[in-house]
Amino acid sequence: MRIKEYAKISKIPFKTLGWMTRRGFISDPLIERDLIGLKLLENLWGKIEFIRPQLIKKNKRSRKALIDTCDLETKWERYAFSRFMNLEPDHKIYMKHLIAEIELTFRFKLSIFDIKKIYRVRKRVYQIKERQAQKAQKAQKKIIEKSNNDPEKREIVATK
């Protein structure tokens, strides 16, 4: 059985099966040994008990990055996401420069639909950064309130 045929009846995505083939974990066409292994993998696929121990080995930052980008299908979308996320607060990247950079790096011409995806990625990053800023503001406010309520840390202010 070929991988394309197997992907149609399997829980495992075609991209993952292709990756497994390129890495040499399975062959194309699939042999009996591969089918047995894939059947076992299908039974475990998506189970939280199977995923959790794998994620534990990653640090919190890596896990968060994985969660933030897990629904971005292509490498170039994840690349755009990381370019926007890694921008310094006062810097900006122009869309036409990013589009040219992606086309040069990944060697293909972006369609109108692909460009719309980049705009959606930019919007998502903007929302994430906005939430992070709000969290930081709340934390700062909490610290200030805590220090203002602490009798040990109060300052005596002399007025005329």
Give yes or no for residue 67 having a pLDDT over 80. Answer: yes
Task: Supply the pLDDT for residue 77.
Answer: 93
Task: Supply the pLDDT for residue 91.
Answer: 87
Task: Supply the pLDDT for residue 153.
Answer: 58
* Mean pLDDT computed over 134-142: 82
CA dihedral 29, 27, 8, 44 (to 10 degrees): 150
User: Using CA atoms, how far apart are residues 106 and 76, in angstroms rounded to an integer?
Assistant: 7
User: Using CA atoms, how far apart are residues 16 and 7, in angstroms rounded to an integer?
Assistant: 9
User: Using CA atoms, how far apart are residues 99 and 110, in angstroms rounded to an integer?
Assistant: 8
Instruction: Report yes or no: 117 and 95 within 8 Å, Cβ to Cβ.
Output: no
**Domain positions in the chain:** 3-55, 61-149
Give yes or no for residue 156 having a pLDDT over 70. Answer: no
Phi, psi dihedral angles at 134 (to 5 degrees):
-65, -40
Tokens of 59: 């640090």
Phi, psi dihedral angles at 109 (to 5 degrees):
-90, 125
Residues in CB range of 87: below 8 A, 6 or more apart: 93
Task: Supply the pLDDT for residue 141.
Answer: 78
Residues in CB range of 30: below 8 A, 6 or more apart: 1, 2, 3, 6, 38
Task: Supply the pLDDT for residue 135.
Answer: 85
Confidence (pTM): 0.69
* Mean pLDDT computed over 106-133: 91
Write the pLDDT tens digit of every residue in 98-115: 999 999 999 999 999 999
